[in-house]
Chains A and B, each alone.
Chain A
Amino acid sequence: MTDRSPVVEAGVEHRFGPYGGQYVPETLMPALAELEAAWVAVRDNPGYKAQLGGLLRDFAGRPTPLYLAERLSELAGREIWLKREDLMHTGSHKLNNALGQALLAKRMGKERVIAETGAGQHGVASATACALLNLECVVYMGAEDIRRQAPNVQRMRLLGAEVVSVEAGARTLKEAVSEAIRDWVCTVATTHYIIGSAVGPAPYPALVRDLQRVIGDEARRDLLERAARLPDRVIACVGGGSNSIGIFTPFVSDPGVTLIGVEAAGEGLDSGRHGAPLTVGGRSGVLHGSLSAVLQDADGQVTEAHSISAGLDYPGSGPEHAYLRDSGRARYVAVEDDDAVKAFREVTRLEGIIPALETSHALHYALHEHGDESTLDLVCLSGRGDKDLAEVIAHDG
């Protein structure tokens, strides 16, 4: 689009190539400006950094381990290193972002926090951060996701959050984000919206990336120290794309490192029932405030995604991923439900690690696809899979 906003400062990019922007109701525009100003003011502020760093270390358990998975390496015929975000407090990488944004909300004087959640991991992370910081928390979650991720719903309620069931559309992540944005339109003076992925209007994609890049910073440092080399491939799953952008970012300027984002192929890319907008390509579109790869029909109506994993069941994608794809810096592929479940079982039996179904998509790719191009893979093990037991058992009948 022409007439773009003038802000181009690194860290609060409004556009990644043609992607991104701020396609939201006018009511929210001042709040986005306020958020951007607040983030610029605190991100390099020693007090904020010390507070966040201290909580990430002592409360959340960072740095997370980097683990050489020997039995997976044997199976794959190359070294497989796992970045263990599943060992972080609350069981996934989502707490990196939720803690950073909840602290920001506190500094902005907001007393109420809203969040959306698909698999429930971001909802649990937000509820946890709000319990810690004494903030009111409301989490929007699709009714279908409430059904398939019941343990996380119970965790959120125990943590004091209100979980609002969203009945619109396919009753999954897309509708939960839309409902959270509608809440924010009505409550913007008192409320901060902790968006859970690297999506949404600027400055969210840059803000979430900056809070998640700790994954890649730690992994790159630890791998250099222990393996004395960089990986051939960095592999991570992509729903909206926060764990993937977090682990990719420190490797973007390492030309020898291939970056691979793994989307959900659902029942198969040809079936039309998938969550792989970056992989299938096509016309870009606006969803939830930014221009990026989107599943849509000829009119521009956003279509429903499908994935066995609630966190990848999303028809959109973060705008920076669309840019990394177009520029050729990252590659996007998709793995089907059945293969993800297979990897879920494989990794559980071989390594004694139960990975999230989302992560299992990335693990399947690392173990079984195009391995001859690599001698060392770094995989983001973005979350643990306890929440998925019922879904996996039901899937396998």
Chain B
Amino acid sequence: MSIQELSTEQAVEMITCVIDGFEVTVPKGTLVIRAAEKLGIQIPRFCDHPLLAPAGACRQCLVDIEINGRAFPKPQASCTIPVENGMVVKTQLTSPVADKAQKGIMELLLINHPLDCPVCDKGGECPLQNQAMSNGRGESRFEGVKRTFEKPVAISSQVLLDRERCVLCARCTRFSEQIAGDPFITLNERGALQQVGIYEDEPFDSYYSGNTVQICPVGALTGTSYRFRARPFDLVSTDSACEHCASGCAMRTDVRRGKTLRRLAGEDASVNEEWNCDKGRWAFKYEVAKNRITTPLIRDANGQLQEASWPEALAAAAAGLKDARAGVLVGGRATVEDAYGYSKFARVTLGTNNIDFRSRSHSDEELDFLSTVSTNATYKDIDNADHVVLINFEPEDESPIVFLRIYKQVHKRAIKVTSIASLASRGSEKLNANLVKTAPGNEVASINSVTDLTGKSVVLVGERASETQGALSAVAKLVKESGAKLGWVPRRAGERGAIAAGAMPNSLPGNRLISDAAARVDIATAWAVDSLPSATGLSTQEIINSDLQAVVIGGVDPMDISPDAKLKLSKKFIVSLEIRQSDITEIAAVVLPVAAVVEKSGSFVDWQGKVRKFEAAVEQSLNRSDVRIISMLADEIGKPINLPTVKSARVELESIGNWDGAKPEMKSTVSNSTKSVGPEEAILSSWRNLLDKGSLQDGEENLAGTARGSVIVISKSRASYLGVKENDLVRVSNNYGAVTLPCAIGDIEESTVWVPRNSLNSQLIRNLGVVSNSVVKVAKA
């Protein structure tokens, strides 16, 4: 029963109608309530939401309508009726009938509402409260008994429900069904006892549940972590961008007295519309973690880190870096401005191209792909796509807003989705994806088998494609031959920006290849230096394995790279720029504290290449963005980069602009031979679940409560071979170590076993030393 959306490319017929005496012209299909908005006429509403299908349930938006002189006999819900030519609408402003109808509905809505506004989280920002004032009667005539319920009911660890406050608008249930594809909450019972409920023993298991709290027009749904923490009028709100992934969500950060109390999805039609995921909404406690570093630290003669002043620490860092053969590890979460600071610092101050933002699996093929293949897909392309191909990319886990956008079109237009993956994940099942079941390492053949691509198709490839040799070359070929749009979707928020900033061993800012002399001249001129190092630098893994004497490290977890990374780095002089104590600060000679995202301004570049600027939400912080500290460090070393502020870095990078010269083609890498496995062996497949042991989720127990369980996924035939049934313990092991978890029997490629990459009791680099595309033993535990 979905309403076919008009394609944006079609010419849209315009309709002119009259609302409260004013003419308004809107595209055909526009609802009366929204046409009125265009005129600045606010019709009160609860169940209406522009991104949900009309319900007409609350009846708050009743207006009088006539069409070509024929009046409807009774007021109509303006949220369900599209405008028509010759339509004359009278809202509460000009129709006494509509005004009385609205006041009547408001009075009815309030008879069973507890009016506990003084203790309700929503009080002060509540559509019911506001509209009761603007469109209500003021005094209720109800003298009877209100309906009461036990309160609150936890519909998940992170969402609480106070049923007596609920006005039963069904926004939350419609969101869960229509937008998230997670119909785990529903309306139960009937009449005034109708209520939102979950299935027996099944909590509200959705990555997007927080949106229901945000769109609840009353205080019925509240976030466990925020409940009773603040009043809206005590909060200072700042528009911000989400640091958790490359989806690029606009956010709003609400701060009271220097402390972030909550984050909400911001509005951006071209990115996240009005939604975000639960990680983006609730994972911010890491900023106030106990192990936050507040002062510079220097390692003393006894090997202990000691607090130091900034001049002391900068001097110590400079001494270790000056004249050393050094490298820079940026990490995947830097802002563009910070990444630019690191990029310029490596070239100008350290005189090297040994810089890499990739703090995960990576390959030379990937480097070549990222610096030569242009990506052009956007959310809008997904909106218009005829076919979306996912390659080593699980959007629900790895870029949740990309998932929502694809799901929207699957829900509305039933577009085709193909997923090249080892198993049918919950996300790809929701997308009704045609699964090309592929063992890790065999992706190239699967990519080559994709057909039916047109210029309207979208190919989305994930960062895990670098784990299979030849996969990215095959993607480049597929896109080139079919004309489909291409998107490369990394997991982390900083990766696309780091590429733009040139924080990689073969490229300079603005996608200028180091191998191109003209490109080097461009940048040397911009930076007012005589020349730039011309040799391609070392990658992350090469820097770790190298005999470089010193490394400057941003936000990097060595356990994201390789099991021995920490040990190898510990032999070098490490300058760590960190917000919290970490594996790197443990081995660093000098630790420089930096600001967390909410404490600084900056920008991320989302997977589309769109810049997501944000301002500091916590103004009082003494913490500084990386670029400012790096600039001080460069001054101390005597080779300044002159980027004293985030703004100066942004302005300088913008003035450099993008490379518009020629670029070489991507070198084609052929795939290596496929692996064969014995009956007790399997090829390891893994990815990170959205909610897992990621360090930015630290300290948020309620969020962690909704993480999907850690399970090993095996095929039906393997289960019978091993003699195990669902939930029996299975052990995956190799020479390095083992992971033992309950098993789930799933639709997985026969020779493959799937293990969560970084979840409870399953942190693969720590436990197995590898993350994928490697033969492991599988046994009953």
Note whether A and B form a binding pair.
Answer: no
Please give the residue numbers on chain B whose beta carbons come within 8 Å of chain A beta carbons, in ascending order.
none
